[in-house]
Amino acid sequence: MEQNNEMSAKQSLELIAETINNSRKGIIRNSGKHFILWGILLTLFSLAVYFLWKASGQAMWNCLWFAMPLVGFPLSYCLRKKSDYTAPDNLISRMMSQTWRIFCIFSLSVAAVAMIIARTTTPIALIGITPALVLMFGVAESINGILLKNNVITVAGWLIGIGGLVIYYVSGINIGQMLIFTFAGIMLTLTGVIVKYQNR
């Protein structure tokens, strides 16, 4: 872009609109790779918990979930550092990352409360952790869809939340419920791919 001081009013407004639009697309595209990273991690961890739990019969393998942020956050940091520049945050990217940050905090808290406190005070934890988490996941995904104005992501969020709940009640409390998270992980990865390619 060179110096040009002879722009018409229409050209100036077009330049502003185009620059803002390109910048927005770049910022949102940048967040796509983080969706893909966390989607792949969720898929892998859910499969790992599923197979280890199934093989050993020990529900304690669910503790493996707590390792997911320990792996994910350093990888996310590396992904950010790998870029030759820091993509800035705008309102949409900030709201998207905050939505998932809140989801992460709530998920770890719900799981910790159910595993530690409920076990010591009641014989069984009365909250179904899987449906609670899958509902929160669906809500977070749908909010992202609305922010991105993408109906596929919004509906995918609803499908994960409500569909996951239906699968949970239909299949009952068993190891197979871990596969709901595998489904959620695949949907999150697909969201990342859509975000990345829709904003090319």
Cβ distance to another protein smaller for residue 80 or 119: 80
Least distance between another protein and beta carbon 182 (Å): 36
Cβ distance to another protein smaller for residue 26 or 128: 26
Say how far apart CA 137 and CA 157 lie, in whole Å: 7
Q: How many degrees, rounded to 5, is the angle at CA 193 between CA 62 and CA 28?
A: 105
Contact status, residue 136 vs residue 165, Cβ threshold 8 Å: no
Cβ distance to another protein smaller for residue 4 or 121: 4
Least distance between another protein and beta carbon 149 (Å): 16
Least distance between another protein and beta carbon 154 (Å): 24
Least distance between another protein and beta carbon 58 (Å): 43
Say how far apart CA 165 and CA 173 lie, in whole Å: 11
Pick from 97, 112, 104, 161: nearest CA to 132: 161
Contact status, residue 34 vs residue 189, Cβ threshold 8 Å: no
Say how far apart CA 110 and CA 45 lie, in whole Å: 18
By CB under 8 A, name the binding residues for another protein.
Answer: 1-5, 7, 9-10, 12-13, 15-16, 19-20, 22-24, 26-27, 81, 84-90
Question: What value does the CA radius of gyration of the chain take, rounded to a whole number of Å?
Answer: 20
Least distance between another protein and beta carbon 84 (Å): 6
Contact status, residue 167 vs residue 184, Cβ threshold 8 Å: no
Cβ distance to another protein smaller for residue 3 or 120: 3
Token pair recorded at residue 24 = 């927005």
Cβ distance to another protein smaller for residue 28 or 42: 28
